[in-house]
Amino acid sequence: MEITGRLVADATVRAVNDEKNVTGFRVAVNRNYKSQGEQKKETAYVECTYWRTDAIAPYLTKGMLVQLSGFMTAEPWVNRDGQPQASLKF
């Protein structure tokens, strides 16, 4: 699967064990469409994780346009009000 969007913040690096770091970032993906003759815009926010190297993190800065190829999942969760929600992970 491929997605294209803009980074909503600079990438961060976190340690997952003694030998491995992972780069995390969030991407806003826009979809434009027409509904009843009116132009609409919808934005989905996708949490992304890059496992190969953390050396890429300094290049992933807020506002940058990125195109990603990988695997996406939806993770369900319950908010503070007890309502079901879902997060997109790439």
pLDDT recorded at residue 65: 97
Res 88: pLDDT: 87
Residue range 32-72, pLDDT digits in tens: 999 999 999 999 999 999 999 899 999 999 999 999 999 99
pLDDT (tens digit per residue) in 76-90: 989 999 999 988 899
Joined tokens for residue 44: 């989905």
pTM above 0.85, yes or no: no
Q: From CA 67, how far away is CA 84, in angstroms rounded?
A: 29
pLDDT of residue 79: 93
Token pair listed for 46: 């996708």
